[in-house]
Amino acid sequence: GAVVSQHPSRVICKSGTSVKIECRSLDFQATTMFWYRQFPKQSLMLMATSNEGSKATYEQGVEKDKFLINHASLTLSTLTVTSAHPEDSSFYICSAGQSYSNQPQHFGDGTRLSIL
Amino acid sequence: SQQGEEDPQALSIQEGENATMNCSYKTSINNLQWYRQNSGRGLVHLILIRSNEREKHSGRLRVTLDTSKKSSSLLITASRAADTASYFCATVKNQGGKLIFGQGTELSVKP
């Protein structure tokens, strides 16, 4: 089945650091990838839709200058948390899918981000 | 933003029993999907049901969809300890494929 690889799986860093998370579709081309944030015991909140070759579409309330998304190729999207602070600590998950909406999304294993 | 509610929020059953989880949503949809998440991991797709379908089966899983009530249910029959996980419904509204998740049900199956 389709595989999405997300790295790193865990990051612990100091406040003020910028952190980059990669999401790769390993065996299919993904024109669209999605980035989610999940707090403990809660559901996934969509942050943004990453579109290959164009600007990401951010959900209401998500700061685009804080969460930089780059989708430079059909197999790679990156999320950079800039100048991270403790409140940015969370579980970040990406997903990728085929072009059609009637297909399931394939999820990465998530990145646990802890800002000290 | 969340699409709707799932109930129960938590469910604890014995191995061999059936588990039923419900999901309600607010807007019209293209399809509804169920996903499973083991603790600290990503999501695994279980079943996709289109808006013109009423029921779908996959192994021990049975999903129903009632678009008039804007609700869906996931039934896991003959549960196993390995089914312990969080289960999420997610709706897709249009061709963009964007998933909007429900709150999730945390299922615990005791051996």
pLDDT digits (tens, 9 = 90+) for A53-107: 888 999 999 999 999 999 888 899 999 999 999 999 999 999 997 656 677 889 9
Q: Is B23 exposed, middle or buried (0-12, 13-18, 19+ CB in 10 A)?
A: buried
Q: What are A20's two structure tokens?
A: 């980059």
| Nearest beta carbon to residue B95 from set A95, A101, A104 | A101
- Section B4-10 average pLDDT: 84
Give the bridge partners for A48, in sequence order. Answer: A35, A58
Tens digit of pLDDT for each residue in B89-111? 999 877 667 888 999 999 999 99
pLDDT in the model for residue A99:
59
Give whole-number Cα distances, B44 to A36, A55, B48, in Å: 15, 28, 12
The one-character DSSP state at B79 is -
Which of B43, B94, B104 is opposite residue A101, by nearest beta carbon? B94
Tell me how far CA of residue B78 lies from CA of A12, B17, B60, B83, in angstroms. Answer: 41, 5, 7, 10
- Among A37-41, B76-80, B85-89, B97-101, the least confident range: B97-101
Instruction: Tell whether B40 lies on the interface with A, counting CB pairs under 8 A.
Output: yes
| The pLDDT of residue A30 is above 90 | no
Predicted local confidence at residue B1, as pLDDT: 45
Nearest CA in chain A to B49: A102
Q: How far is A45 from chain B (nearest CA, A)?
A: 7
Distance between CA atoms of residues A107 and A99, nearest Å: 15
Please tell me whether residue B83 adopts helix, strand or coil conformation. Answer: helix
Query: Distance (Å, rounded) from C-alpha B101 to C-alpha A41?
Result: 14
Please compute the mean of the pLDDT values over residues B9-18 and round it to a whole number. 96
SS3 content of chain A, % helix, strand, coil (to 5): 5, 50, 45
